[in-house]
Structure 1
Amino acid sequence: MFQRGDQGLDREAVLLGQYLEQNKNTLQILTLILFSLQICKALAYLEGINCVHRDIAVRNILVASHECVKLGDFGLSRYLEDEEYYKASVTRLPIKWMAPESINFRRFTSASDVWMFGVCMWEILSFGKQPFFWLENKDVIGVIEKGDRLPKPEMCPPTLYTLMTRCWTYDTTERPKFTELVCSLSDIYQTEKDIAKEKERNNRQRPPKIIEPLQEQAPPPKPSRPKYKASAPGNLLAPLAFQVPESLCASSPTLFSPTEYQSPIDSTRSPPLLRHSIFKRRSMREEDFLKPSSREEAQKIWEKERAKMLQVLNRQQQQMVEDSKWLRHEERTLVNNLKTRCICSTIQRSAHSSVLEAHSVPS
């Protein structure tokens, strides 16, 4: 329970998921990054005391005020958002938030918490949307192992989305620690804060626009047409025999670029450089820089990712073999201990019966 910290919040705690959906039209990107930073600091504390949360999502985060959230897990999600859990064996698990090693082998570590925190940041920047809402629970692990990840939210800065993708690295050893995430999120928050201040300063210094009333203006005069001389009846090139205006000559200072004028005589036979110069250069997005520039480079990237995936699978297979060996060893040890106890108890019973028979024999 929280007391009233700001106007608009009840005395009872508000779940972050509901808060994001109700205030998605007023929340600023700076506030969303601040929420992520506060949650990361709480998880860094848990990591320091070797505690694993195992269920990091907006349904388990409480809003104390408009600029303060608290991490918790009081079992509310099992009752409020029961459809977000997938029944596996006996327990119900949040499959769409879990790391691949948690889905496959039920292994929960600080690295798996880092994966879930990345999904939680995606929820916050998406204003409470459920991750992989377009997939069934049983299809999530196949999509993850194929290499697909959650897309970048619309309002998410590129640097923050890059940090999310680092949290979703398949290899657990390559995921960042929560202490590193706290530093990265602090830098991103400070950068966005400086950008917001700069925008506000520019808006204050910019003079107000003066809107002048619309006035009816006379249309501009029509351009004068060149006068053609009379030509002979059989001369087909006569329409072309006129003087070119000075403004269209190459030496004229008013002729800035070939894109402003094309000759009506032969526009299809202009030089290739002039034809291609009319196309404007489009700005490249961030993902265009990440795409391979050639087929050979794409093949190399694919082979590198495939080798890394095989290495991870081999390591997991070796771990499974070692686990099975350890289980068989423990089983044999347990059986041997039980046999030893049975033999000892049998010997004790026989010795006890011998003593009783010795006492029962009359002297």
Structure 2
Amino acid sequence: IFYLILLLEMCKDVSEGMSYLEDNQYIHRDLAARNCLVDSNGTIKVTDFGLSRYVLDDEYTSSVGSKFPVRWSPPEVLLYCKFSSKSDIWAFGVLMWEVYTLGRMPYDRWNNTEIVEKITAGHRLYRPQLANDKVYSIMNSCWHEVHSLY
């Protein structure tokens, strides 16, 4: 039971970091477990701001052909290159999935083209074994938050 509390605590730390970014009008655009570090107290810190953007209207459209993390991206990014705090929320749901699968690669059996096809058709990641229904409903709510944008 202790490790389940630890997994939830990790997700909470990331959500607080992402809330701080949104409050300060930044879109991370590359939120994933690989871009989080653990400090000496066991607190998770969001890092790697190479793709981050400061935005005034909570939206950033990247140029066609730009690289972005397909496995962590919502339909409006995959189809229209439109990023917002909502696309960071989607990525947070995928990060939660990574945490609760103990580091599995999202959509590990699909290539980028297949991922785009499946995500835009409505496919979502399955419930990890370690995630109870309540935790999985949080993940799912992250993946449904964005639809109003496209």
Q: State the TM-score bracket (shorter-chain normalisation).
A: 0.7 to 0.9
Shift in Å at residue 49 of structure 1? 1.3
- Structure 1, unaligned runs of 5 or more: 1-26, 76-87, 174-311, 317-363
Q: Distance in 1 between matches of 2:88 and 2:138?
A: 15
Q: 1:150 to 1:54 in 2, by over 3 A?
A: same
Matched, 1:72 2:58: no
Q: 2: distance between equivalents of 1:74 and 1:53? A: 6
User: Which AA in structure 2 matches 1:92?
Assistant: K
Please give the alpha-carbon distance, in whole angstroms, between the structure 2 residues aligned to 1:42 and 1:153. Answer: 24
Corresponding position of 1:109: 84
Other structure's SS at 2:67 match: strand
Q: 1:100·1:170 contact (CA, 8 Å) conserved in 2?
A: no
**% of aligned pairs identical?**
32
C-alpha separation in 2, matches of 1:92 and 1:111: 19
Q: Give the C-alpha shift of residue 66 in structure 1.
A: 6.1
- In the TM superposition, 1:8-23 aligns within 5 A as none
- 2: distance between equivalents of 1:152 and 1:119? 11
2:37 equivalent to 1:62: yes
The reply to whether residue 96 of structure 1 matches residue 38 of structure 2 is no
Amino acid at match of 1:142: E
5+ residue gaps in structure 2?
51-62
Say yes or no: does 1:163 pair with 2:138: yes
Indicate which of 98, 123, 128 corresponds to 1:123: 98
Post-superposition offset of 1:29: 1.1
The structural deviation recorded for 1:90 is 4.3
Partner of 1:129, secondary structure, is coil
**Alpha-carbon distance in 1 for matches of 2:117, 2:147:** 18
What is the aligned partner in structure 2 of residue 197 from structure 1? none
- The answer on 1:52 being equivalent to 2:27 is yes
1:149 is the counterpart of 2:115? no
Is the contact between residue 87 and residue 146 of structure 2 (CA under 8 Å) also seen in structure 1? Answer: no
DSSP 3-state at the match of 2:44 = strand
* Contact 2:86–2:145, Cα closer than 8 Å, also in 1: no
Q: Using the TM superposition, give the Cα deviation of residue 164 of structure 1 relative to its aligned residue in structure 2, in angstroms.
A: 0.5
Distance of 1:89 and 1:70 partners within structure 2: 30
Counterpart for residue 187 of structure 1: none
SS in 2 for 1:140: helix
Name the one with the larger strand percent.
2
Q: Secondary structure at the match of 2:39?
A: strand
Change (3 A) 1:149 1:71: same
Deviation of the 1:170 alpha carbon: 6.5
Task: Give the aligned residue type for 1:91.
Answer: S
1:112 positional shift: 0.6
Aligned length: 138
Q: TM-score, normalised by structure 1?
A: 0.36
Q: What are the Cα deviations for residues 68-112 of structure 1, in whole angstroms up to 9, with x where unaligned?
A: 11111155xxxxxxxxxxxx9543221011011011111110011
